[in-house]
Amino acid sequence: MAGIDDRFVVRGGVGYRILRSETDALVAEVGADWTSEARIAGPTETYFGTRALLSYERTLSATSRFESDVEVLENLEDTEDLRVNWISSVSASLTSVLALQLGYELAYDRQPVVVLVEGAPFEFDETDTKLTTSVVLNF
């Protein structure tokens, strides 16, 4: 969230399970939200928006799985302000409670935050990416 110090979201919607089998699950969600963004410089932005999500999970083996989510967020007060989040991960269980996870996240913002740096405008990148590794505890 380049240029965003804090983001608070109130969200509601509905979901539908499109596919559910022994190895695959696919879920779609749609909804509406209210967002308040405290930017690192400038005023706090608040707006109403819409959300669509497609979530897929694949069991690779008895101890591993793949997950991927694509989320599209639209600002209804400024429809040029579109955000897309894509998160994918692979996890492998080491024990019944311990797993390792490798993930990749991509966050796209069509209208990134612009701040003044020494009097000149600086625009954050439209795309942020993260490669993550995690130790997961399952209870």
Q: Has residue 113 been placed in a domain?
A: yes
Instruction: For residue 103, give the amino acid letter.
Output: G
pLDDT at position 41 over 80: no
Q: Has residue 2 been placed in a domain?
A: no
Q: Tell me how far apart the alpha carbons of residues 32 and 12 are, in angstroms, rounded to a whole number.
A: 6
Q: Has residue 55 been placed in a domain?
A: yes
What total number of domains does the chain contain?
1
Q: Has residue 10 been placed in a domain?
A: no
Say what the pLDDT of residue 69 is: 98
Say what the pLDDT of residue 114 is: 77
Say what the pLDDT of residue 1 is: 59
pLDDT at position 119 over 80: no
Say what the pLDDT of residue 129 is: 95
Q: Where are the beta strands (DSSP E) in 1-139?
A: 4-20, 24-39, 45-61, 64-75, 82-93, 98-109, 114-117, 120-123, 127-137
Domain of residue 88 covers: 15-30+47-137
Q: Indicate the pTM of the whole model.
A: 0.85
